[in-house]
Amino acid sequence: MITAGERQSPAPGSSPRRPGSGFVRCAVRRVLVLPAQLLFVLLVLYVAIEVPSTFAHNAPESGAGYLLGFAQAVVNDFTGNWGQADILSFHLPWTVVYAYYIPTSVQLALFALPIAAAIAYPVSLLAGWSRRPAYDAPARLLTLLGALLPVFVVGTLVLNAVFFSYLGWFQDLPSQGLIPSSSWFLDRGGYPSWILYDAVTRPTGFPLIDALLHHAWQVAAISLTKTLIQASVVAIAYVAIFFRHARSIVRSESGQGHIVGARSRGVAERTLLWRHAARTAAPSFLLVFALTIPEYLVVQFAVEAAFVDQAGFGYLTFAEVTQGSLAPLEPLVFLLALLVLSWTLVVDLLARAIDPRELNAR
C-alpha cells in the first residue's frame, strides 16, 4: 500500500520541483519571445507604410533594399531617432511631442480603468452566474447598446446629461481636454505660466497633479471633473467589449465540479459566487483584459478625439490621420505595440501567479 508520503515523493533520479520554478520558467520564456513579437509588428507596419509609398512614387526597391530599409527603421525605432514634427506651429522632435502627450492620456487611463473594473467585474459575475432573466437580460441589453453605439454617440449623451450642471458649477465647457477651456482662462487674465501651448501643463505633464502643485484649486477641480466624465465614457464603451468575453467565463465556472459539489452540500449561492467563483474567475478576467487592451486603447483614443483633448494621444493620432500623413504614425505604433505586448506579458504572468494551476499544467 502506497502511503501519502510515498505518493508525494519524487520519482527516482528526478529532482524535486522548487516552489515558483514553473513561474520563473514561464516568465523567462515570455520575456524572450517579446522581442520577436515586437519585430513582427514592426515588419507588418513597415510593409503597410513604406512599400506602398515607394510604388506610389514609381520607385520600387529590390528585396535587399527593402530589407536594409526595414533594418534601419528598426534601429530608428529602438534608438528614438523618429525625426521632426510640425505640430501646434512648432518644429519639435517627435520624442519631445510624445513626452508632452503621454501624461494626459495616462491620467485618463488611471481613472478609466478602475471605473471600468468596478463596473465590469460585478456585472459579469452576476450576469454570468445567474440564469434568471431579471439579471441576465438587462445586463446583456446594456452591453449590447454600449457595443452598438459609437463612442462619439456615448460621449455626446454623457455630455448632454452633465452639460448644464457642469456649466453652472464651473462656468466652463465640459469638453476641450482635461483642463479648463481657453475662454475660461481668458476671462481670468489668460493662461498661467505653467501651461504651455494652451494645453500642456508643467512640470509633470499631468494636469491634475500640476494644478495641485501650483495651488490652482479651481483648475484642479475642473481637471478632476473632466477626467471623471471622460473616464466614465471610456468605461461604458469598454465594459461592453469586456462583458462579451467575461460572461462566458463565469458561466463555465458555475458548472465546475467543486462548485456543483459545494452547491449539493447546501452552500449558499451568494457564497459560491463571491467567495469561490469570483476568486477562480479572476485570472481569466485578467487574461481577457490583456487580450482586449488594443480595443481599450481604441476606445480611449476615440474619447480623447471626441472631447477635443489637444494634449492626448487620441487627438494627436486623429489629427495626423486626417492630414493624410502616415509616416509620423510609425513611432506611435511602435510605442503602442511595445505597450500592448509588455502589458499583456505583465497581466499574463500575474494571472498565472494567482492561478498556479496554469503553471502546474506545463
Q: Quick one: which of 252, 257, 185 has its CA closest to 216?
A: 185
- DSSP-assigned beta bridge partners for residue 84: 93
| Total domains in the fold of the chain | 1
pLDDT at 85 over 90: no
Q: How many CA atoms lie within 13 A of 266 on its CB side?
A: 0
- DSSP-assigned beta bridge partners for residue 93: 84
The top-scoring range by mean pLDDT among 94-108, 147-161, 273-287, 314-328 is 94-108
- Give per-residue pLDDT as tens, 171-223: 898 888 899 988 899 998 889 999 987 788 999 999 999 999 999 999 999 99
Name which residue leads in pLDDT, 344 or 215: 215
- How far is CA 154 from each of CA 106, 161, 230, rounded to the nearest angstrom? 21, 11, 10
Q: Is residue 241 part of a domain?
A: yes
Q: Is residue 18 part of a domain?
A: no
The average pLDDT across 26-35 equals: 80
- Give per-residue pLDDT as tens, 309-322: 888 888 877 777 77
The average pLDDT across 269-297 equals: 79
pLDDT at 87 over 90: no
Please enumerate in sequence order all residues whose Cβ is within 8 A of that of 215, keeping only pairs 6 or more positions apart, or say none. Answer: none
Predicted confidence at residue 7, as pLDDT, reads: 41
Name which residue leads in pLDDT, 71 or 7: 71
CA 227 from centre of chain? 16
Q: Is residue 174 part of a domain?
A: yes
The top-scoring range by mean pLDDT among 130-134, 160-164, 332-336 is 160-164
Rounded CA-CA distance 178/195 in Å is: 12
Q: Is residue 346 part of a domain?
A: no
**97-126 CB burial, b ≥16 within 10 A, e <16:** bbebbbbbbebbbebbbebbbebbbebbbb
Q: How many CA atoms lie within 13 A of 223 on its CB side?
A: 22
pLDDT at 357 over 60: no
Q: How many CA atoms lie within 13 A of 239 on its CB side?
A: 28
Predicted confidence at residue 185, as pLDDT, reads: 92
Domain containing 317 — which CATH number? 1.10.3720
Torsion sign, CA atoms 297, 298, 303, 309: positive
Quote the strand ranges of the chain, DSSP E: 84-87, 90-93, 195-196, 200-201
Q: Is residue 360 part of a domain?
A: no
Q: Quick one: which of 84, 73, 13 has its CA closest to 44?
A: 73
Q: Quick check: 230 and 112 in contact, CB under 8 A?
A: yes
pLDDT at 6 over 70: no
C-alpha cell at 215: 495651488
Q: Quick one: which of 253, 213, 209, 242 has its CA closest to 116?
A: 242
The average pLDDT across 129-158 equals: 69
- How far is CA 341 from each of CA 28, 37, 167, 314, 347, rounded to the nearest angstrom? 15, 8, 41, 19, 10
The top-scoring range by mean pLDDT among 133-137, 141-145, 303-307 is 303-307
Predicted confidence at residue 4, as pLDDT, reads: 42
The average pLDDT across 117-146 equals: 70
Provide the residue range defining the domain that includes 179: 88-325
Rounded CA-CA distance 65/82 in Å is: 20
Q: What is the DSSP string of 65-103?
A: HHHHHHHHHHHHHHHT---EEEETTEEEEHHHHHHHHHH
Percent of the chain with pLDDT over 90: 15
Helix axes 133-148, 217-254, angle to 10 degrees: 130
Predicted confidence at residue 309, as pLDDT, reads: 86
| 17-25 own/partner pairs: CB under 8 Å, 24+ apart | 22/356, 22/359, 22/360, 22/362, 23/349, 23/352, 23/353, 23/356, 23/359, 25/362
Rounded CA-CA distance 362/360 in Å is: 5
* Three-class secondary structure of residue 196 per DSSP: strand
pTM above 0.85, yes or no: no
The average pLDDT across 327-332 equals: 68
Terminal C-alpha separation, the chain: 29
* Phi and psi, residue 86, nearest 5°: -100, 95
Quote the strand ranges of 137-220, DSSP E: 195-196, 200-201
